[in-house]
Amino acid sequence: MLDRRSFLETSALLSALGFLPRALSAEEYERDVARRDVPAGPFRGRPCVVSSANGIAGVKLAYDRITAGTDTLDAIIAGVNLVELDPNDQSVGLGGLPNEEGVVQLDASCMHGPTRRAGAVGCLEEIATPSLVAKAVMDYTTHVLLVGAGAKKFAQALGFKTQTLLTEKSRQDWLRWKSRLNKGDNWLDHDDDVKINWTHGTINMNAVNAAGDVSSVTTTSGLAWKLDGRLGDSPIHGAGQYTDNAIGAAGSTGLGEMNIKACGGFLTVEFMRNGATPEQAALKTLERMVHMTEARMLDEKGRPRYDIQVYAVAKDGRYGSATMYEGASFAVCDEKGARLEKCAFLFKGAERPR
């Protein structure tokens, strides 16, 4: 048996002699991937930030920081912090709708393209900015994902302050939902009489700078009234968001369970790698989600009984977004300024199952 030190020394010797594959440097990796996979075309180096519509202020903040020289991941995390700390957005951070027990549990993940690093937290309680804790997991540990009590302990050790995340508005919404429960209720059913805008929400933000460096982040309070311990797609790399610095970044908002099965973030980047535009890639990912959807979540015509939006940015600054049902918008900021644009869609809005 080799001890760890002897193993490392032996591996280094074998590698130097050419018997083991040598890890590529970041530059070699990007050159290699670019040679094999990136569709031919001039590199334009065009900064761009794209997000879900609730990130309209955040994309502007992130874009301004990126063009002033801030790292892409730091910039978009500052962008999503605006929403995490906004008590009126009941789908993210402070004021997020709670789980079925009235506890706000937050999920977030991020990826930093240039260094190929990733971090995430799930079911994090009492800390309003899970995106920053996800980045801390990336920066200060060798791990990629921390959950529950361990994630909170880690955040507190780094000095994150705990606070009550359940606002009075969200508590009232939760009580109204709870008051409708009775013995006959099925956990899979939602009560249509409780009119709440945010039963799932989330913010995903993706960015590229002039050097072609790419990052992504997604943060959420998850599905309202979820079971204690439920994780959605947001803390899952490859689902809620994904970055490959050679290609671009993508992420999503909407019913996370459907996205997890399609690995939506990863798949969108892979479609772009194979030549699709960001919008085409987002649409193809939605098609795959429908393909992967179980029967109970489809209507009689095979249309989904849920909605999801996908957002994508390519390394050259092209961007796009798509949604299942016509009507949704997304936020973008580039040299033309911050604005909302309509998402491409798979189904006409009138076709949405009621």
Query: What are the residue numbers of the active site?
Result: 202
How many residues bind ligand GLY (CB under 6 A)? The answer is: 12
CB of 86 to ligand GLY, least distance (A): 17
The Cα-based distances of 35 to 32, 188, 204, 242 in angstroms read 5, 48, 29, 21
Q: What distance in Å separates the CA atoms of residue 49 and residue 55, rounded to the nearest whole number?
A: 10
Residue 219 touching ligand GLY (CB under 6 A): no
DSSP state of 173: H
Q: Name, in order, each residue with C-beta under 8 angstroms of 112's C-beta and a sequence gap of 6 or more.
A: 71, 72, 73, 118, 138, 215, 243
SS (H, E, C) 202-249: CEEEEEECCCCCEEEEEEECCCCCCCCCCCCCCCCECCCEEEECCCEE
CB of 223 to ligand GLY, least distance (A): 5
CB of 58 to ligand GLY, least distance (A): 17
Question: Contact 203/92 with Cβ under 8 angstroms?
Answer: yes
If the CB atoms of residues 48 and 223 are measured against ligand GLY, the closer one turns out to be: 223
Strand order, beta sheet including 106-112: 145-147, 117-124, 106-112, 214-220, 203-208, 48-52, 329-334, 337-342
Q: What distance in Å separates the CA atoms of residue 172 and residue 169, rounded to the nearest whole number?
A: 5
Q: What distance in Å separates the CA atoms of residue 265 and residue 288, rounded to the nearest whole number?
A: 12
Residue 278 touching ligand GLY (CB under 6 A): no
Tokens linked to 277: 């535009």
CB of 174 to ligand GLY, least distance (A): 16
CB of 176 to ligand GLY, least distance (A): 21
Point out the residue whose Cβ comes nearest to ligand GLY: 232
If the CB atoms of residues 66 and 92 are measured against ligand GLY, the closer one turns out to be: 92
Subset of residues 247 to 276 that bind ligand GLY, contact rule: CB under 6 A: 253-256
Phi then psi for 349, rounded to 5 degrees?
-55, -35
Residue 53 touching ligand GLY (CB under 6 A): no
Subset of residues 221 to 240 that bind ligand GLY, contact rule: CB under 6 A: 222-223, 232-234
Among 60, 112, 200, 315, binds ligand GLY (CB under 6 A): 200
If the CB atoms of residues 223 and 343 are measured against ligand GLY, the closer one turns out to be: 223
x/- map, 85-124, ligand GLY, by CB under 6 A: ----------------------------------------
If the CB atoms of residues 254 and 320 are measured against ligand GLY, the closer one turns out to be: 254
Using CB under 6 A, list all residues that contact ligand GLY.
200, 202, 220, 222-223, 232-234, 253-256
